[in-house]
Amino acid sequence: MTRDHAFPLSSAMAALAAAALFGASTPLAKALLRDVTPVLLAGLLYLGSGLGLTVIRLLRDRGWRAPGLRAREWLWLLAAVGLGGVVGPVLLMLGLTRTSAASASLLLNLEAVLTAAIAWLVFRENANRRIVFGFTLIVAGAVLLALPWSGQALQFGHGALLVAGACLCWALDNNFTCRVSNSDAVFIAGLKGWIAGIVNTAVALWMGAQLPAPAIIGSALGVGLLGYGVSLVLFVLALRGVGSARTGAYFSTAPFIGAALAILAFGEHASPVFWLAAVLMGVGVWLHLTERHAHLGVPKRQASTPRA
């Protein structure tokens, strides 16, 4: 083992880039909500991811090529897709009907916490005080951004349990995906997009949602390709080098990036809370990026050449 950055800096940059794309998609998706119901929009975003990444993969491979996953890896991947792409979104939608938006936003930070807890306690990813402290600062910044500073009361009940259940599903999804992160990232992200997109779209249509104009559908698919598809590819690439806990911590900066974009592009006011969250997240990310430790990355499969 060599003494260097504990994990490749490129993997950390991939995680931050994934957060940037996902965070940037939030204000764009919010604008689309004027014409599309939330569940249908989620379906279209995921479909954009699945469709776009499938086209990219076909062009890259010059035709269809089997992903080459082993039986055990298929189990990890299908479990990740089922929990993160099907059960998680359904629990979230049910939870949102029973709790306030402010409470749900705050509870969604549980995903990063549960991801790290499972990674450290179950899958034995390495951690030290510096990493744990940096993780805490990043999550604290995300919590600050989610708190209802307008005076809206927090409400916790059965809806909160459903949202927490969704976060647990996504935390398990992150850790399960990490087990197959040495495989084709484009295939993994594309498969998740197709399954989540079909399920969410079907649920929305069953609930009575109407398809919007073709231009709106095209915009949603485009936002989904970048904010969900390419973002997830980068997320999987980050999992290869920095593991579930650190990738989840970096990805927690997505709300800050989305808020920053809203301030720069849409002229929204930057509150003191925003700048405090920026400092906390910035210090947390710096602690991670400057960590020095022996490399203990995710075990790679033998006789396997990862594809981006």
pLDDT at 1 (0 to 100): 35
Better pLDDT: 28 or 6: 28
26-35, 70-79, 113-122, 146-155: which has the minimum mean pLDDT?
146-155
| pLDDT band, very low/low/confident/very high, at 298 (cuts 50, 70, 90) | very low
Predicted confidence at residue 221, as pLDDT, reads: 96
Instruction: Give, for 241, the enclosing helix (H) or strand (E).
Output: helix 231-251
pLDDT at residue number 119: 92
Q: What pLDDT does 301 receive?
A: 41
Instruction: Kindly report the pTM of this predicted structure.
Output: 0.80
Mean pLDDT value of segment 198-222: 93
In this predicted structure, what is the pLDDT of residue 245? 87
Polymer length of the chain: 308
pLDDT at residue 150, rounded to an integer: 61
Average pLDDT score, the chain: 82
Residue position matching structure tokens 């030290």? 128
pLDDT digit string, tens, across residues 179-193 = 999 999 999 999 999
Residue 67 burial class via C-beta count within 10 angstroms: exposed 0-12, middle 13-18, buried 19 and up = middle
The string of pLDDT tens digits covering residues 118-172 is: 999 999 888 888 888 988 988 888 788 777 766 665 566 777 788 889 889 999 9
- For 207-223, letters b (16+ CB in 10 Å) and e give eebeebeeebbebbbeb
Q: Mind listing the pLDDT tens digit for each residue in 245-275?
A: 888 888 888 777 777 777 777 666 777 877 8
For residues 104 and 154, the model is more confident at: 104
Mutual angle of helices 71-81 and 185-206, in 10-degree steps: 40
Does the pLDDT of residue 277 top 90, yes or no?
Answer: no
Q: How many whole angstroms separate alpha carbon 196 and alpha carbon 201?
A: 8
Tell me which long-range contacts 119-125 makes (C-beta under 8 A, separation of at least 24). Answer: 119/174, 119/175, 119/178, 119/243, 119/244, 119/245, 119/248, 120/245, 122/175, 123/175, 123/178, 123/244, 125/243, 125/244, 125/245, 125/296
